[in-house]
């Protein structure tokens, strides 16, 4: 009877031969519905053939690129994986360090020599790709590509066959991943040369009526050489300026998708006996969104062109790997705030947090309690680092820390502030803002004090940004498409941290530590 029951049980789908992880830097969840009516390519295919989690969000405060990619890669939150920001103040050295900075692992350039070094040495947990390399046989081949080092590295983790990004106008990797240029990547680059003097201007892809909102908002902050309206030239006064223009245009997204597919063919990803891993982070939306804002025609056009780009990539994977042999997960590392000036016009409280005033009032409040001067060593985004021993003096004096926090909360645009001891153990019972801040807090890397911007208040002087616990920063798309996954929309609350354990389940690996949960929609997909 038991054997008969086993024989009639539904068969699980075969293990995917290729895991494809796609991250669209700064893609808000609402873009899918607000701007998706004209999509006919890869984004549309994901929505129609995949399971689309429409209420996915990061639960933490520091919705920043390095933190987001590390969360996607590991399935854990910043308090555990340690990537609290893109950069933080290092107390030991007294200077800022980036999340992937590693002078001991020099860069290997596929063009002109580039100084510096990068690795995942500061990432405290293994990624899904790391666990796949450790647990599966044959050993998976890992390819991870992006314009940004922190994006490519946080998706790959501590190793990989080809992990590459751009630096100083050249594609590079580091000695953390290779001892010399990877031959397959060198060959792929030769097949995809860029004629820098012939790159066409960026013009709208769609008819004018297809774009929502009025273009040319007064608060848009276009890069040097561009105006607030199309067309945007690629040609700069120097090759360096032309390269910079290219990186913030849809041309760069299309190029990295083409490069990824060339690597699929060259390395034969998904075409062997085991399971391989391909990750691509598309950075253009972030660079454009910071300058033009989420309602701009530029943002909408980046997405329309990415839809075409992903359609081509999926068609290539269908032919090379086989439609039923790969699984795709798409998400974003964070969202973005509207331009505060646009929100203020609607009568909503909005603005830019006056950081010089914030630091001055903090200095005055701390000096009043413990004396001295220059007590604030650094303010990095929303983290406040005090001088050596200052925080201990504040906590030793009854009520002193709370009076300093109260002074901070009086600064325009600050809705909450917390001291370190309030953030050491994330507890939902502490309330949403404190819990979100604690999930982003690592005692060795975060500030002694962390403040939380109010809705529609940002910490930059121009354009817009992200990095808050507000819904427009936390909510991002999560879509998984592949064999055995039933298409449809799911409205329950999920997290991008759920992607790694869910993909891990599909390929038969276990993560060492994950805050994310296995999504039931993929349980039968293996």
Kindly state the average pLDDT of the residues 109-120. 97
Residue 3 has pLDDT above 50, yes or no: no
Instruction: Kindly state the percentage of the chain with pLDDT values over 90.
Output: 96
User: Residue 2 has what pLDDT?
Assistant: 41
Cβ-Cβ contacts under 8 Å for 20 (sequence gap 6 or more): 278, 279, 280, 317, 326, 327, 328, 329
Residue 7 has pLDDT above 50, yes or no: no
pLDDT band at 139 (very low <50, low <70, confident <90, very high): very high
The per-residue pLDDT for range 410-440, each reduced to its tens digit, is 999 999 999 999 999 999 999 999 999 999 9
The per-residue pLDDT for range 446-455, each reduced to its tens digit, is 999 999 999 9
Reduce the secondary structure of 412-475 to three states and give it as a string.
CCEEEEEEHHHCCCCCHHHCHHHHHHHHCCCCCCCCCEEEEECCCEECCCCCCCCCCCCHHHHE
- C-beta of residue 415 within 8 angstroms of C-beta of residue 454: yes
With CA atoms as reference, report the closest residue to 225 among 240, 239, 243, 245.
Answer: 245
The per-residue pLDDT for range 49-102, each reduced to its tens digit, is 999 999 999 999 999 999 999 999 999 999 999 999 999 999 999 999 999 999
Kindly state the average pLDDT of the residues 313-340. 98
- The torsion angle over the Cα atoms of residues 297, 302, 306 and 309, rounded to 10 degrees, is 110
Cβ-Cβ contacts under 8 Å for 25 (sequence gap 6 or more): 65, 148, 151, 281, 282, 283, 284, 285, 286, 332, 333, 334
Instruction: Kindly state the percentage of the chain with pLDDT values over 70.
Output: 97
Query: Average pLDDT over the chain, rounded to whole?
Result: 96
pLDDT band at 523 (very low <50, low <70, confident <90, very high): confident
With CA atoms as reference, report the closest residue to 418 among 386, 384, 389.
Answer: 384
User: Residue 324 has what pLDDT?
Assistant: 96
The rounded distance, in Å, linking the Cα atoms of 21 and 331 is 8
The sign of the torsion formed by the CA atoms of 328, 334, 340, 345 equals: positive
- C-beta of residue 377 within 8 angstroms of C-beta of residue 89: yes
User: Residue 525 has what pLDDT?
Assistant: 75
Kindly state the average pLDDT of the residues 265-275. 97
Write down the residue that tokens 């860069």 correspond to.
107
Write down the residue that tokens 């590390």 correspond to.
70
Maximum distance among all Cα pairs of the chain, rounded to whole angstroms:
81
End-to-end CA distance of the chain: 24
Residue 364 has pLDDT above 70, yes or no: yes
User: Residue 526 has what pLDDT?
Assistant: 65
Alpha helix stretches (DSSP H) within 104-177: 128-135, 149-156
The rounded distance, in Å, linking the Cα atoms of 252 and 269 is 22
User: Residue 13 has what pLDDT?
Assistant: 59
pLDDT band at 130 (very low <50, low <70, confident <90, very high): very high
Residue 163 has pLDDT above 80, yes or no: yes
The per-residue pLDDT for range 14-27, each reduced to its tens digit, is 899 999 999 999 99
The per-residue pLDDT for range 368-385, each reduced to its tens digit, is 999 999 999 999 999 999
User: Residue 379 has what pLDDT?
Assistant: 97
Write down the residue that tokens 């790959």 correspond to.
156
Residue 161 has pLDDT above 50, yes or no: yes
The per-residue pLDDT for range 215-229, each reduced to its tens digit, is 999 999 999 999 999
The rounded distance, in Å, linking the Cα atoms of 351 and 340 is 5
pTM of the model: 0.96
């Amino acid at each position: 009877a038991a054997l008969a029951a086993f024989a009639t049980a539904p068969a699980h789908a075969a293990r995917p031969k290729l895991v494809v992880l796609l991250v669209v830097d700064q893609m808000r969840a609402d873009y899918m519905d607000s701007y998706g009516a004209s999509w006919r390519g890869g984004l549309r295919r994901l929505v129609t053939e995949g399971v689309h989690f429409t209420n996915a969000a990061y639960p933490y405060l520091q919705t920043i690129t390095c933190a987001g990619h590390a969360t996607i890669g590991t399935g854990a939150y910043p308090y555990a994986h340690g990537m609290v920001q893109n950069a933080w103040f290092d107390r030991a050295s007294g200077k800022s360090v980036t999340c992937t900075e590693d002078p001991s692992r020099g860069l290997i350039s596929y063009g002109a020599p580039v100084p510096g070094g990068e690795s995942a040495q500061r990432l405290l947990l293994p990624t899904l790709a790391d666990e796949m390399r450790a647990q599966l046989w044959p050993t998976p081949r890992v390819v991870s590509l992006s314009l940004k080092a922190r994006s490519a590295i946080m998706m790959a983790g501590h190793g990989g066959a080809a992990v590459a990004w751009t630096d100083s106008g050249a594609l590079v990797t580091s000695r953390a991943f290779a001892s010399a240029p990877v031959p397959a990547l060198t060959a792929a680059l030769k097949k995809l040369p860029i004629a820098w003097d012939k790159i066409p201007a960026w013009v709208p892809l769609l008819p004018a009526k297809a774009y929502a909102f009025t273009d040319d908002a007064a608060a848009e902050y276009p890069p040097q050489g561009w105006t607030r309206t199309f067309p945007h030239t690629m040609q700069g006064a120097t090759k360096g300026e032309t390269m910079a223009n290219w990186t913030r245009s849809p041309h760069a997204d299309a190029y990295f998708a083409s490069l990824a597919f060339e690597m699929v063919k060259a390395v034969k990803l998904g075409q062997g006996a085991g399971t391989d891993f391909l990750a691509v982070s598309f950075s253009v939306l972030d660079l454009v969104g910071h300058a033009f804002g989420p309602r701009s025609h530029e943002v909408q056009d980046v997405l329309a062109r990415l839809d075409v780009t992903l359609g081509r990539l999926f068609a290539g994977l269908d032919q090379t790997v086989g439609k039923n042999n790969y699984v795709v997960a798409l998400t974003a590392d964070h969202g973005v705030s509207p331009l505060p000036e646009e929100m203020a016009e609607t009568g909503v409280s909005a603005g830019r947090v006056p950081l010089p005033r914030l630091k001055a009032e903090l200095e005055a409040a701390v000096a009043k309690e413990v004396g001295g001067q220059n007590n604030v060593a650094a303010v990095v985004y929303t983290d406040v680092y005090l001088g050596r021993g200052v925080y201990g003096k504040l906590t030793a004096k009854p009520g002193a820390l709370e009076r300093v926090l109260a002074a901070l909360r009086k600064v325009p645009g600050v809705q909450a502030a917390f001291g370190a001891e309030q953030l050491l153990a994330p507890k939902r019972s502490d309330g949403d803002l404190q819990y979100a801040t604690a999930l982003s807090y690592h005692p060795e890397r975060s500030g002694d004090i962390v403040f939380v911007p109010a809705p529609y208040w940002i910490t930059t002087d121009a354009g817009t940004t992200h990095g808050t616990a507000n819904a427009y920063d936390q909510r991002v798309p999560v879509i998984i498409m592949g064999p055995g996954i039933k298409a449809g929309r799911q409205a329950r609350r999920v997290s991008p941290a759920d992607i790694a354990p869910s993909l891990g389940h599909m390929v038969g690996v276990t993560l060492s530590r994950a805050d994310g949960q296995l999504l039931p929609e993929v349980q039968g997909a293996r």
